[in-house]
Amino acid sequence: MAAPFANGAPNSKLVFEKSSFDDPKSSHERVLNTKYFTHNASIILPYSSSAAQLQFEISEIQDQQVTYLIRDVPVHQLVDKEFIEAFVKKGQLYILSQRRHIDTHNCAAVFPTGHLLLHITKDTYEQLGLEGKPSVFSSLKPTKYVVDIDLKPDSFTPGRKGYDRVLWCLKDRLGLTFDLLISWNPHDEKICASSVSKFFKSKGLVVSPVPWCVQTQWQNKVRTPVLDSTVVTATEDACGRAEAWEWLGAMACGIDLSESCADNYISTLSCPTPSGSCPRCCVLSVSGFFTPVTTKWLLEKVRNEVESKQEKNKVPWGSVTFHGFQDSPVSVGSREHGFFQEGDNLHSFLTFCNKDYWLYSAYGHHDLCQ
């Protein structure tokens, strides 16, 4: 009897888009704005001069946003009216629970749209008392439920039935607590982004700034694939999108792609043909908790690098990859995300001098795709 395997082979998706930054319908803004939580950004810049230097200081990244880690936050603090008025309704608030596994633990997130998303297990859901929906990826017997609470409407205020019920469920029933990563973008330049940390400190919680770490690698004499923004499938003159994607991944992982290592025991990957020689290649990786503010800034910097006219720093193309959190409840926008086998959700921009770009969006098995 031929029966299909339930949850057999992982159903990973890779979406390729080719567009231009000048195109009014270009989706890069939309993608970056709705990718709320980014864990890691890796930049690859193959310079054509051996004396090349990065044109921007990566340490400026800390001016873009400040992130705080707050330990053991009772989740009812997030529906506190004072908090909603001060931070949720004004500016952009990004909150993500940390050190929780999406498939087995309770997770929480707040988006700038003003939605509090609780991704909770079946046991918690049955005791919590808030209406939710079973997770999209669950089978006949759901093990995870998603409770979506809109914090922004005016009716969500003390004294109203809905608010009182939510507060009672979160405060008096289970006492859910999370370690939260918080980043707030003020609506007004006069207000400091650190006021969100002050608010939680006043509630007697331990607040610590989240560090970010940079790994910069300069590789000399690397073979790089020759790419043309108009040639998507491989030809004799240029590599295609699939080869380029593979090469980018191998570089980011630090795999030796030189021809002498082609019959290596660990990896038999080598640079796709046609390839050119690159005297100095920069592989940079930044990890931390990044919001769209930072990711847009990083893409801007990579674009400047690629589009710059300086002979010394000439780059035929550059790539920046944004890895989302593996245990984030959403991948892009409000699309649900799960881990299952890999939990990947990443967006990779391959930019060219003529303002064209290739966008690779990779999603794991438990991810919705447009």
Partner 1 sequence: MADDKSCTEETLYSGLSPSIVSHGSKLGLQARSMRQTDVVKSYLKRHLPANRLMANEDNISRRQVHLSRTVKKKKFDLTSQKKKKLTNRERKGMKVFKIPKENQSYSQQLPLHQAWKQYMEEVIPSSSVSSPGAVQAACQKVVKAELQGGMLTVQRSKCPSYVGVCGIVMQETRHTFTFITSSDKVKCVPKENSIFALELHGHIFTIHGSHFKVKAGERSSKKFKSKPTTDL
> Do residues 51 and 313 make contact, with C-beta atoms less than 8 angstroms apart?
no
Interface residues with partner 1 (CB under 8 A) are 125-132, 168-169, 173
For residues 41 and 130, which CB has a smaller minimum distance to partner 1 in the complex? 130
C-alpha distances out from residue 220 to 214, 223, 279, 302, 304, Å: 19, 9, 5, 20, 22
For residues 168 and 218, which CB has a smaller minimum distance to partner 1 in the complex? 168
Write down the least CB distance from residue 158 to partner 1, Å. 18
Write down the least CB distance from residue 143 to partner 1, Å. 11
Write down the least CB distance from residue 133 to partner 1, Å. 11
Closest CA to 331 of 5, 15, 7, 10: 15
For residues 130 and 299, which CB has a smaller minimum distance to partner 1 in the complex? 130
CB atoms within 10 A of CB 159: 7
> Do residues 226 and 276 make contact, with C-beta atoms less than 8 angstroms apart?
yes
How far is the first Cα of the chain from the last one, in angstroms, to the nearest whole number?
Answer: 34
Write down the least CB distance from residue 171 to partner 1, Å. 12
> Do residues 56 and 64 make contact, with C-beta atoms less than 8 angstroms apart?
no
> Do residues 306 and 48 make contact, with C-beta atoms less than 8 angstroms apart?
no
Write down the least CB distance from residue 122 to partner 1, Å. 8
For residues 127 and 216, which CB has a smaller minimum distance to partner 1 in the complex? 127
Sign, Cα dihedral of 192, 193, 196, 202 = negative
For residues 129 and 175, which CB has a smaller minimum distance to partner 1 in the complex? 129
Helix, strand or coil for residue 202? helix
For residues 138 and 341, which CB has a smaller minimum distance to partner 1 in the complex? 138
Write down the least CB distance from residue 119 to partner 1, Å. 15
